[in-house]
Amino acid sequence: MNPNVKISKEETLSNNWYILKKYTFDYLRKDGSWERQEREAYDRGNGAAILLYNTQKQTVILTQQFRLPSYVNGNASGMLIEACAGLLDKDNPEECIRRETEEETGYKVQSVKRVFEAYMSPGSVTEMLYFFVAEYTHDMKVSEGGGEASEQENIEVMEIPFTQALQMVTNGEIKDGKTIMLLQYAQINHLLG
């Protein structure tokens, strides 16, 4: 652990859906003085996201669902177009993303490639997101997808031409950070086209 940080108090503010804690800590500044700070951190666990792509058809599989936080922050419909993703729960990232892919998209992929990991909102959220890509073919489709009813998921599965998905980022139809990152990864690394 970092010797320049000393946590003196940890207080749970909420343990409802996920855990919100308030931390009081001392931080050693560059000038050698200690500064007391307070910050809140939201712990919702770590997650994984995947971009499914088909090189023959030049398409990607994305999902669309209602996201309350986007709705209360000005997204008039509350709907977001996203790459398939989910929380790890107690799985490792690879097991998680294979499970989530089948639940959400209906595609059963065996071979996934881990491409990078990132903190998505490190100023307030503890989550580390593991990013994957995988090729899909029509014969991998085992169900209609749509998510788990027990988790109150109502997910629309979308097969979109890759060039159209990139244009949707440019014109603001795709505003989800993880999805933009994966589409740009696919573009930079010439996975399609």
Query: 97 and 17, same structural domain?
Result: no
pLDDT 10s digits, 56-70: 999 999 999 999 999
Query: 119 and 63, same structural domain?
Result: yes
CA distances from 19 to 2, 39, 89, 172 (A): 23, 14, 14, 32
Query: 117 and 60, same structural domain?
Result: yes
Query: 106 and 20, same structural domain?
Result: no
Full domain range(s) for residue 13: 5-43
- What is the average per-residue pLDDT within 141-152? 80
Structural domains in the chain (count): 2
- What is the average per-residue pLDDT within 81-104? 94
Query: 105 and 135, same structural domain?
Result: yes
Spatial distance between the Cα atoms of 2 and 157, rounded to a whole number of angstroms: 43
Query: 92 and 18, same structural domain?
Result: no
Whether 14 shows a pLDDT value over 70: the answer reads: yes
pLDDT the model gives residue 91: 81
Query: 107 and 172, same structural domain?
Result: yes
The answer as to whether 102 is a domain residue is yes
The answer as to whether 193 is a domain residue is no
Query: 96 and 64, same structural domain?
Result: yes
Confidence of residue 175 (pLDDT cuts 50, 70, 90): very high
Q: What is the CA radius of gyration of the chain?
A: 19
pLDDT 10s digits, 96-108: 999 999 999 999 9
Strands (E), 44-155: 47-54, 59-66, 79-82, 84-87, 113-119, 128-135
Spatial distance between the Cα atoms of 191 and 169, rounded to a whole number of angstroms: 17
Q: What is the CATH number of the domain that holds 70?
A: 3.90.79.10
pLDDT the model gives residue 152: 66
